């Protein structure tokens, strides 16, 4: 198969779909890889690094899209990239379609085979291609929140861990999944007063076993959420419903009643955000203020640490890229139900039920859609 790796063009996005080591693996399996000029420069890889492992370097994204049977990216394709997709071409990347009608419409129109990292599953019910970025984003959320609390950024002027004689900041983590657990780890390490809210008793038990008396693991009811959010200095939104738009758990009314200068980091913003007042921001302008509450809602948080993020992502995606390349998408999807769960759009049809429901499109079962093309 011919695989194409374009340079990412989203604002301040420096990650790359494949590092040279991943390219080398594909070439060793008999595939061809075309990489756009300077695609890896943001994480320290030159064109020569890719050429040294056998890749061919092309000058433009258009050339890469024209030659490739499968496009491997990191972030959702931007409008100019979506216009380059063609019928039957495989797109393997993060998509986050539920809150993104324009992208969904363009992918339907393209009739490409669009497989989303974030809805690929595993035998444990996890999301193996989302997990590494959730780990990064969860850990980064505390860094971002700590900065947002600084007075120069219009925050409360608090140090997360306090100092002897001064209380630490109260950090409330909504959601105890991969993002929440990693945010909790960082917040505990910095000495904050940490509360984690979740609706799963099993998740709360695991957090209690890991962190013990260093945190308060609370069952999330409307009453508990309101109480702790209003007391919080920093709120981390880490709620995820796979493939679907995130539920708006923190309301505009909550925001109005929070402490002036409190901060929110909405890690769920890729799926529309779990804070009612959230709107996607960029690394260039990461924060804004609503009712004296600092909102950090960067939609590609791991892009700020692209080298760590790219390697972590490649470790997870490479086996799936190889499977798609070795077998072709039809056999690969037919043989692997977990990879099939990643299929969001094929031949102009939506095959992810949560995306169809969120955007009001008709839904076709992915296996049914695939059988039509076998």
Enzyme catalytic residues? 96, 270
Indicate the DSSP class of residue 298.
Answer: B
CB within 8 Å of 125: residues ≥ 6 apart: none
Residue 331: other Cβ atoms inside 10 A: 13
CB within 8 Å of 146: residues ≥ 6 apart: 159, 160, 190, 234
Cα–Cα distance, 6 to 214 (Å, whole number):
44
- Residue 102, CA distances (Å) to 46, 79, 182, 240, 359 in order: 33, 8, 32, 22, 10
Cα–Cα distance, 79 to 102 (Å, whole number):
8
CA-closest candidate to residue 18, choices 9, 30, 10, 26: 26
Could you tell me the maximum CA-CA distance found in the chain, to the nearest angstrom? Answer: 69
Contact 72, 99 (CB under 8 A): no
What H or E segment, with its residue span, contains residue 26?
A: helix 20-28
Q: What backbone torsions phi and psi does residue 9 show, to the nearest 5 degrees?
A: -120, 0
Contact 168, 234 (CB under 8 A): no
Cα–Cα distance, 99 to 113 (Å, whole number):
20
Cα–Cα distance, 33 to 70 (Å, whole number):
10
Contact 368, 346 (CB under 8 A): no
Question: The tokens of 251 are what?
Answer: 């309301």
């Amino acid at each position: 198969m011919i695989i194409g790796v374009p340079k990412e063009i989203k604002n301040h996005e420096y990650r790359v779909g494949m590092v040279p080591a991943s390219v080398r693996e594909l070439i060793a399996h008999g595939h061809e890889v075309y990489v756009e000029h300077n695609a890896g420069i943001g994480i320290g890889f030159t064109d020569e690094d890719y050429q040294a492992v056998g890749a061919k370097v092309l000058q433009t994204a258009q050339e890469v899209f024209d030659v490739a049977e499968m496009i491997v990216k990191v972030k959702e394709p931007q409008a100019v990239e979506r216009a380059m997709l063609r019928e039957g071409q495989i797109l393997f990347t993060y998509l986050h379609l539920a809150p993104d009608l324009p992208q969904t419409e363009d992918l339907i129109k393209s009739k490409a085979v669009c497989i989303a990292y974030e809805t690929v599953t595993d035998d444990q019910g996890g999301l193996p291609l989302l997990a590494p970025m959730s780990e990064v984003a969860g850990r980064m959320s505390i860094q971002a929140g700590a900065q947002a609390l600084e007075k120069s950024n219009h925050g409360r002027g608090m140090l997360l861990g306090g100092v002897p004689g001064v209380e630490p900041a109260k950090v409330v983590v909504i959601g105890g999944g991969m993002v929440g657990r990693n945010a909790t780890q960082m917040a505990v390490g910095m000495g904050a007063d940490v509360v984690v809210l979740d609706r799963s008793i099993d998740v709360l038990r695991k957090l209690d076993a890991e962190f013990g008396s260093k945190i308060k693991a609370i069952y999330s009811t409307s009453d508990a959420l309101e109480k702790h959010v209003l007391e919080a200095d920093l709120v981390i939104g880490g709620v995820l419903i796979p493939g679907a738009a995130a539920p708006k758990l923190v309301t505009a009314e909550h925001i109005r009643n929070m402490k002036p200068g409190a901060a929110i980091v909405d890690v769920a913003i890729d799926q529309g955000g779990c804070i009612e007042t959230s709107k996607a921001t960029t690394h260039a302008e990461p924060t804004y203020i609503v009712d004296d509450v600092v909102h950090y809602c960067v939609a590609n948080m791991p892009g700020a640490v692209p080298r760590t993020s790219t390697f972590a992502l490649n470790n997870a995606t490479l086996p799936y890229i190889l499977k798609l390349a070795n077998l072709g998408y039809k056999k690969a999807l037919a043989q692997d139900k977990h990879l099939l769960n990643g299929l969001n759009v094929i031949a102009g049809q939506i095959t992810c039920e949560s995306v169809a429901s969120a955007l009001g499109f008709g839904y076709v079962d992915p296996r049914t859609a695939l059988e039509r093309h076998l």
